[in-house]
Chains A and B, each alone.
Chain A
């Protein structure tokens, strides 16, 4: 064998080994979770802030049905169609999940079987969650009705159906820190935690590259992943609403012109309507200090 082939084979083996190592699913340290006691009452507020019901209820669920996390909503994207799973506290959902299981899924994007989850699940935002908050949400979901609807498989083709490759995606695109840095007031910092982490606003409002990673134009708007319409730019470069206007929109859905939220955002407002006035004001305060992007 020509030496060059030996080198190529060796390089390929090293490459495969490196790929294998860097794409090992992450984990949450058991010690960090030790002693955490979930408070379901606190978890209720966090549940709405994190918008769990927006995606995980059955399609078209309204009112009390928004507490039944049966799954089944479809999320078309350039990579395939993702189907939100059942996360109700029953056998078909996450009934048997420990706090460790849920914390690993939400902050590391790793399923109970140790597999990488698709980033349609917003773990690239939830990664910044305080583990106490995960514990409270875990406790609150445990109080909700169980539902027996089986989760459906995602409709994702090759090569995106190779779960291991998501480890590479994470390596390239997991944010690992705040999007907006610098000196923030206490209110702005609370708003940052709400916008960047819990409410995961950037998942829809920030543009992505061809591989689905954020381009860095934080909250500058993006084409809707289902191909219909555009998700608006909410940086101060475009959104000129007052802080009061933003807070009111997140409470009642009314724009300053008294039009209302539509589409997916109407669903989001059904959740933000349940936040405290202080939290909605904090979101508005943070949105004013996001770097402005015109367009």
Chain B
């Protein structure tokens, strides 16, 4: 009996540890996936932004490609499966995703919708020329900042 109980508890402990490890691994994976998508967004925003600032010659085709890639990454990063409750700055090392995201998840989602809308405006602008792209940057920055203002922890 004693040995059986011991075995059971050992098995339990092992499976608990395994699931905890899986949970931690999963959280880190999700955090990394978010950050990788944000980096892709940053790179493509960079193409649009450098053209808007005049640091890079305007090229409508390259701008459109960047805006499309930005859109694709933004759709992925604003999806629900990227934001499981509990994978936040309080429970994952180095995460800057504040728990406030889940306190007002509807608002968080609404800001995601605003971001996609701002990117769609920028996509259309790439076909219209440099001035249109320049004009679209303010709304893009506002949409990015809209979330970062409330839902991202300050850098340490």
* Shortest Cβ gap from B25 to chain A (Å): 27
Q: Is the interface of B mostly helix, strand, loop or mixed?
A: helix
For chain A, the count of residues having a C-beta within 8 Å of the partner chain is: 24
Determine whether A132 belongs to the interface, using a CB cutoff of 8 Å to chain B.
no
Contact in complex: B145, A257 (CB < 8 Å): no
For chain B, the count of residues having a C-beta within 8 Å of the partner chain is: 24
Contact in complex: A266, B145 (CB < 8 Å): yes
B39-53, CB under 8 A of A: which get 1 and which 0?
001110110010001
Determine whether B75 belongs to the interface, using a CB cutoff of 8 Å to chain A.
no
Contact in complex: B142, A253 (CB < 8 Å): yes
Q: With the chains together, A244 CA to B45 CA distance in Å?
A: 17
Determine whether A259 belongs to the interface, using a CB cutoff of 8 Å to chain B.
yes
Q: With the chains together, A224 CA to B153 CA distance in Å?
A: 12
Q: With the chains together, A4 CA to B145 CA distance in Å?
A: 66
A247-272, CB under 8 A of B: which get 1 and which 0?
01001111001111111001101100
Query: Considering residues B41, B46, B138, B145, which has the most beta carbons from chain A within 10 angstroms of its beta carbon?
Result: B145
Of chain A, the residue at the smallest CB distance from B43 is A258
Determine whether A120 belongs to the interface, using a CB cutoff of 8 Å to chain B.
no
Choice from A224, A244, A257 contacting B42 with Cβ under 8 Å: A257
Q: With the chains together, A253 CA to B147 CA distance in Å?
A: 12
Choice from B42, B53, B55, B142 contacting A259 with Cβ under 8 Å: B42
Determine whether A273 belongs to the interface, using a CB cutoff of 8 Å to chain B.
yes
Chain A residues in the interface with B (C-beta under 8 A): 60, 62, 224, 228-230, 244, 248, 251-254, 257-263, 266-267, 269-270, 273
7 CB-based A-B contacts, threshold 8 Å: A224-B154, A228-B153, A251-B141, A254-B137, A260-B144, A262-B152, A273-B138
